[in-house]
Amino acid sequence: MNVEFIDKMGTDLTVVNAARVSYAKVKQQFENRDEKLIAYLAKHNHWSPFAHASLQFKIKAPIFVARQLVKHQVGLSWNEVSRRYVDYPPELFDPDIWRERPVNSKQGSSGMKFLSRKLRMDHASTMEQCKILYNSLIIEGVAPEQARMVLPQATYTEWYWSGSLYAFARVCNLRCANDTQLETRMVANKISEICNKEFPICWKYLLVKQEEGV
């Protein structure tokens, strides 16, 4: 899986100026006292100034991860590669470890699960057969929009994901939590790392909501 930082608009100062425009004030340089304003905005859920800063990512992940993340819609735009149009050989995600089903929950996972040799071989064989069948259908002249139906959720997909800083904070506050699916959390953690680098003051206070359980 991969998260590539493509572009951004704004800085921490962008958020400060968006908030201070109510008083017809514009600053050219970020000052220490501006951090208090950002902290106040985040604490009291004044989200609109954070919507004036934005980021764009290009992400590669398995379909089952993408379908979890695409549920986040507000303040975000998503454009994904379509196998209606492309027919290059599929790449499938192969987990390093398998996890056990939790005892007291209908979702999530618990500890490491060791598969039998037969199950490991069955898994590898099934994934390979899916790729072979897909490629055979394409070679035979079947339309990519139909041939894709034989591919599993482990198939890698790619998409551009753009949105406001506040929107990505909402994503990361949910998807970076320890009770989320590991594979999805890996993507969210990388997004969070980049947001923190590009907007260090804003991110410091936007992500504190997760720690406080807000």
The domain over range 2-81+155-212 is classified in CATH as 3.40.50.1970: no
Assign 110 a pLDDT band (cuts: 50, 70, 90).
confident
Domain ranges of the chain: 2-81+155-212, 98-150
Q: How confident is the model over 22-65, as pLDDT tens digits?
A: 888 888 999 999 999 999 999 999 999 999 999 999 999 999 99
Is residue 170 annotated as a catalytic residue, yes or no? no
Question: Per DSSP, what are the bridge partners of residue 56?
Answer: 7, 162
129 pLDDT above the threshold of 80: yes
Of residues 159, 158, 160, the one with CA closest to residue 54: 160
The two beta strands, 54-62 and 112-113, are unpaired
Active-site residue, selected from the candidate residues 83, 148, 170, 175: 175
**Cβ within 8 Å of residue 45, ≥6 positions away:** none
CB atoms within 10 A of CB 191: 22
Q: How confident is the model over 57-103, as pLDDT tens digits?
A: 999 999 999 999 999 999 999 999 999 999 999 999 999 888 888 77
Assign 208 a pLDDT band (cuts: 50, 70, 90).
low
Predicted pLDDT of residue 214:
34
